[in-house]
Amino acid sequence: MDLQSAEKRVNELKRLLTQYGYEYYVLDKPTVPDAEYDKLLQELLAFEEQFPQLKSEDSPTQRVGGAVLEQFDKVEHRIPMLSLGNAFNEQDLRDFDRRIRQAVGDEFSYVCELKIDGLAVSLRYEDGLFIQGATRGDGTIGEDITANLKTIKAIPLRLTENISIEVRGEAYMPKRSFEALNEKRKERGEELFANPRNAAAGSLRQLDPKIAASRKLDVFLYGIGNPEELDIVSHSAGLDYLDQLGFKTNNERKKCATIEDVIKFISGWTEKRPHLPYEIDGIVIKVDSLEQQAELGTTAKSPRWAIAYKFPAEEVVTTLLDIELSVGRTGVVTPTAILEPVKVAGTTVQRASLHNEDLIREKDIKLGDKVIVKKAGDIIPEVVNVLADQRTGEEVDFHMPTHCPECESELVRLEGEVALRCINPKCPAQIREGLIHFVSRDAMNIEGLGEKVIGQLFAEKLITDVADIYKLTREQLLALERMGEKSVANLLAAIEASKGNSLEKLLFGLGIRHVGAKAAKTLAQEFGTMEKLSSATKDELIAINEIGDKMADSIVSFFEQEGASELIQELVAAGVSMEYKGAKPVSAAESDSFFAGKTVVLTGKLERLTRNEAKEKIEALGGNVAGSVSKKTHLVIAGEDAGSKLTKAQELGIEVWDEEKLIEVLN
């Protein structure tokens, strides 16, 4: 067969296989036998082998899994993947509803969706072609798992429209796939996966895509990252549009006019949950209107217009064998219950936090007690209460120690606190925990330097403070257990890369009391350099929005310590950046720009700037870029194919510019 005839047949095979795959994996309505599909796929593989130039990225043959990867690359999400706040009971839901009404009035509706228990993923398409898939990661930075996601047959490799779009969803392992996988692992004598969520996450983080392909994962898409660019006006309309594009969405969703309807929907699925072919751990409730979502806004971590109702946790009975004490990086001594191993919500639980001495007294917990255990939010094990009527008389009272279990220093209870605290700055446990915090994802994010490796390095006295991390050598690391040439090289590269982090990462990593990740970024933006921040007065600090008295006192006290100054000098000598590298926001009061204090909406396709570039430039000049047009909007920038937002702006008499005018004013 000549090339032209082969190309014609290949295109026909791709069309048929894509159609049959969509009918089988998305609609769950196969129209041909499996044998027919397999026969056509083998024919396509044969053509692509004979004519390699006809192989394309959207070919169904790309789903079998390609070459083994060396590692996952990092991906910065263009639009952050925020997590959701949680509701655990009816009162939480009514409080959420009250907050919504106070903000937008009574004219709104909700969309309720099943909360799939899997791994959140982001998919990017350019001109209709799937080009990249990533994990959620920390919401800002994820991992590129494109090769593994291509093996999920419900993910279209090409959309029904040639558009550029970013979508979000949940990759999961169906119950049937999970049971089959564990059966195979059992036969091979391998450790079983605890639940389908862990199995899905483990499958998508395999460096060999063929392993991911063999696990038979699935996906549901639940949102569009950039709906305003497509002139979509509601969440429900966005889900319908995903269906049109060929994505698989979950049909068990419902628009609800009131919180009563929401509660009724939740009640129904609480009963029907066990009969689903996949695991769910709750119901997600979202305000439907995107304009109202924009009005409600977000916090640093989660949207104010959505909440996740978590199903009541499974409760089981076990025996409390002992209480173990641990010392955190701030010196707080935390008691942990050691339990007779028991299965809770799909995983084996042997430990549960008891928080503090007051809780132990309040619940009258004794060693040897029969206790009820559950997982708060299906995640964190906790002791609910004691079965006092089952006591035998052999149970033993527990008393918190008077001295630190790590360094023997006397413990104190600070005024207004319930926790016992070790205040010895040289306490080994606090130093070790501080090191673990410093290298964590939200801080310096040094991959490969986890809790176990830090523990080894600390035990060998190779590191005693965070500056020592930057003095580690190849020879020292190779001497550690389970550290080979490749892992050492990767770790040293990660340590070197962390030197270039922006100031807020370092600030958060230093563990200054009361300074979280958000406050660290605010401080870094405001002062720009470690030198300026370290010399700031309390008055200068509390003048900053979000910085209160306690935090200001803590920051001033930290930098007044002689050891802090020495540590920072060591980090400077090691080449660690002391500067903020992000864009510094400009307030309306500081800017004399046209955009200062104005709310701007971008709509349609821009030719010379990307949406993000335009947004950053406007915000850098003191403007605020919103996602929808309202009476509060001052200006609309309309690119090509501008739709309903432009129409609404014209109806409201709002000023409209084209891209040329925007660039002219920006310049």
Query: Could you list the mean pLDDT of each consecutive 10-residue stretch along the chain, which spans 667 residues?
Result: 86 88 78 82 86 84 66 84 89 95 94 95 94 89 92 94 94 92 82 83 88 92 87 93 96 96 96 90 95 86 91 87 92 93 82 88 94 75 91 93 92 84 88 94 91 92 94 93 90 95 95 88 91 94 84 92 89 95 63 82 83 80 81 88 82 90 88
Token pair of 640, please? 């090509």
Q: Which of 532, 619, 541 is nearest to 579 (CA)?
A: 532
Q: Regarding beta strands 333-344 and 370-376, do their DSSP bridges make them parallel or antiparallel, or are they unpaired?
A: unpaired
- Where residue 476 falls (left for φ over 0; alpha for ψ -120 to 50; beta otherwise) is alpha
Q: For residue 533, which phi and psi values (nearest 5 degrees)?
A: -65, -45
Q: Which of 286, 290, 291 is nearest to 305 (CA)?
A: 286
Q: For this structure, is 115 an active site residue? A: yes
Q: Which of 165, 300, 143, 314 is nearest to 225 (CA)?
A: 165
Instruction: Please state, in angstroms and rounded to a whole number, the distance separating the CA atoms of residues 173 and 185.
Output: 16
Q: Domains (ranges, CATH) in the chain?
A: 3-64 (1.10.287.610), 85-310 (3.30.470.30), 315-412 (2.40.50.140), 428-574 (1.10.150.20), 599-666 (3.40.50.10190)
pLDDT at residue 541, rounded to an integer: 93
Instruction: Please state, in angstroms and rounded to a whole number, the distance separating the CA atoms of residues 216 and 183.
Output: 14
Strand partners, 339: 320
Task: Let me know: does 309 contact 87? Beta carbons within 8 Å.
Answer: yes
Give 618-658 pLDDT, tens digit per residue.
877 888 888 778 888 899 998 887 777 888 888 889 999 99
Q: Which of 639, 642, 644, 645 is nearest to 658 (CA)?
A: 639
Cα 259 to its chain centre, rounded Å, is: 27
pLDDT at residue 585, rounded to an integer: 62
Indicate the pTM of the whole model: 0.58
Sequence-separated (6 or more) residues with CB below 8 Å from residue 501:
444, 445, 576, 577, 581
Instruction: Please state, in angstroms and rounded to a whole number, the distance separating the CA atoms of residues 34 and 43.
Output: 14
Instruction: Please state, in angstroms and rounded to a whole number, the distance separating the CA atoms of residues 432 and 429.
Output: 5
Burial class (CB in 10 A: 0-12, 13-18, 19+), 331: buried
pLDDT at residue 255, rounded to an integer: 96
Cα 583 to its chain centre, rounded Å, is: 23
Instruction: Please state, in angstroms and rounded to a whole number, the distance separating the CA atoms of residues 531 and 324.
Output: 42
Q: For residue 55, which phi and psi values (nearest 5 degrees)?
A: -75, 135
pLDDT at residue 68, rounded to an integer: 58
For 485-610, strand residue ranges (E) read 599-603
pLDDT at residue 33, rounded to an integer: 82
- CA separation, residue 364 to residues 387, 388, 396, 397, 417 (Å): 10, 9, 11, 9, 20
Instruction: Please state, in angstroms and rounded to a whole number, the distance separating the CA atoms of residues 73 and 539.
Output: 43
Q: Which of 85, 93, 92, 88 is nearest to 263 (CA)?
A: 93
Which amino acid is located at 41 in the chain?
L
pLDDT at residue 83, rounded to an integer: 87
Task: Let me know: does 266 contact 47? Beta carbons within 8 Å.
Answer: no
DSSP conformational letter for 52: G
Compute how many other C-beta atoms are within 10 angstroms of the C-beta atom of residue 615. Answer: 16
In the sheet that 165-172 helps form, which strands lie side by side, from edge to edge?
Answer: 129-135, 119-126, 165-172, 218-224
Instruction: Please state, in angstroms and rounded to a whole number, the distance separating the CA atoms of residues 196 and 664.
Output: 54
pLDDT at residue 568, rounded to an integer: 94
Sequence-separated (6 or more) residues with CB below 8 Å from residue 406:
327, 422, 427, 428, 429, 430
Scan for tokens 């894509």, then name that residue. Answer: 18
Which amino acid is located at 231 in the chain?
D
For 263-379, strand residue ranges (E) read 280-287, 306-310, 315-327, 333-344, 347-353, 366-367, 370-376
pLDDT at residue 327, rounded to an integer: 92
Sequence-separated (6 or more) residues with CB below 8 Å from residue 189:
none
Scan for tokens 């010399």, then name that residue. Answer: 535
Q: Regarding beta strands 624-626 and 599-603, do their DSSP bridges make them parallel or antiparallel, or are they unpaired?
A: parallel
Catalytic residue among 8, 14, 115, 366: 115
Q: Which of 271, 314, 328, 240 is nearest to 511 (CA)?
A: 328
pLDDT at residue 367, rounded to an integer: 96
Instruction: Please state, in angstroms and rounded to a whole number, the distance separating the CA atoms of residues 220 and 169.
Output: 6
Compute how many other C-beta atoms are within 10 angstroms of the C-beta atom of residue 87. Answer: 21
pLDDT at residue 481, rounded to an integer: 84
Q: For residue 487, which phi and psi values (nearest 5 degrees)?
A: -65, -35
In this structure, the chain runs to a length of: 667
